[in-house]
A = this chain, B = another copy of it.
């Protein structure tokens, strides 16, 4: 059995495109509807209440487009609002990026000491520590908020000296704690993978939540016999929606997913939200 409906993926902005990239790599026939709330990015420094409200608005827009699986490709939303979303969204399974990243960390840590980097909201929620220790309570989890990493990605400073100095500032403290795995708990961070790996050295393994989330999505669709039929060019038939469109965003999106990305469309979230509530 197949299900030709698209997968819905949303994020506060660009970062969730790293999840979309891994989905296309694993399942090139899947169509995605991506929603980036670029008019209100970033979510990572906002209050829980606001993050829940924004996350549910994003989710409802995608649910109105007949999707078969919803992915909250935003660590901030996955950390503080996933339960809230699953209570409100009943028409399709909902997954976040925290559980898959946490499972990977449990499988990979030999020393049973895991570091997690993320936004202020993600780290304050202790979401990764809770998810990891729910599987194995003996694993120690050390979190560190890195609020400058997202702006550095958005500035395109992937291998800049400023990024190196910032990575050292945030990461040396975690390294001193003897971790052997570091979870990149923000979908923007895989874009800084090079500098982060240089900073922490090869003894510490980096775990990219985006990759493990794509694997989880594949497992679910396989289990429900809901994979897309063969012969579809998933990327070309996908939709990319943003709540604010600037040339800068378009450049970064093409850099991430390739020059043959379909046209990015701007939608008005306030109007759509009002329509849905009617």
Note all chain B residues with C-beta closer than 8 A to A148.
148, 151-152, 155, 157, 162
Tell me the complex Cα distance, A154–B145, Å.
13
A259 within 8 A of B: no
A160 to B165, CA, bound (A): 11
Chain A residues 176-193 with CB under 8 Å of chain B are none
Q: What's the minimum C-beta distance from A234 to chain B, rounded to whole angstroms? A: 28
Q: With CB as the reference atom, state the residue of chain B lying closest to A274.
A: B274
The docked-state distance in angstroms from the alpha carbon of A120 to that of B161 is 21
Nearest Cβ on chain B to A61's Cβ, whole angstroms? 15
Q: Does A46 reach chain B (CB closer than 8 Å)?
A: yes
* Chain A 206-250: CB-based contact to B (< 8 A → 1; otherwise 0): 000000000000000000000000000000000000001110100
**Binary CB contact string for chain A from 46 to 84 against chain B (1 if under 8 A, 0 otherwise):** 110110000000000000000000000000000000000
- Per the bound structure, the CA–CA distance linking A154 and B44 in Å amounts to 12
Q: How far does the alpha carbon of A120 sit from the alpha carbon of B249 in the complex, in Å? A: 12
Q: What are the residues of chain B within 8 A of A25 when measuring CB–CB?
A: none
The answer to whether A246 and B40 touch across the interface, beta carbons within 8 angstroms, is: no
Whether A88 sits at the interface, judged by CB under 8 Å, is: no
List B contacts of A165 (CB < 8 A): 161-162, 165
Q: Is A28 an interface residue (CB 8 A)?
A: no
A262 at interface (Cβ–Cβ under 8 A)? no
Across the A-B interface, the 10 shortest Cβ-Cβ residue pairs: A151-B151, A50-B244, A46-B244, A47-B246, A40-B40, A162-B165, A147-B155, A47-B244, A39-B50, A162-B166
- Taking A39-B40, A47-B246, A49-B244 as given, write out 14 further A-B residue pairs in contact, using a Cβ cutoff of 8 Å, ordered by the A residue number: A39-B50, A40-B40, A45-B154, A47-B245, A50-B244, A120-B248, A147-B155, A148-B148, A148-B155, A148-B157, A150-B151, A151-B151, A162-B162, A270-B270
> What are 20 residue pairs bridging A and B, where the CB atoms are less than 8 Å apart in the complex?
A38-B46, A39-B46, A40-B40, A45-B154, A45-B246, A45-B248, A46-B244, A46-B246, A47-B244, A49-B244, A120-B248, A147-B154, A147-B155, A148-B152, A148-B155, A148-B157, A150-B151, A160-B169, A162-B166, A270-B270
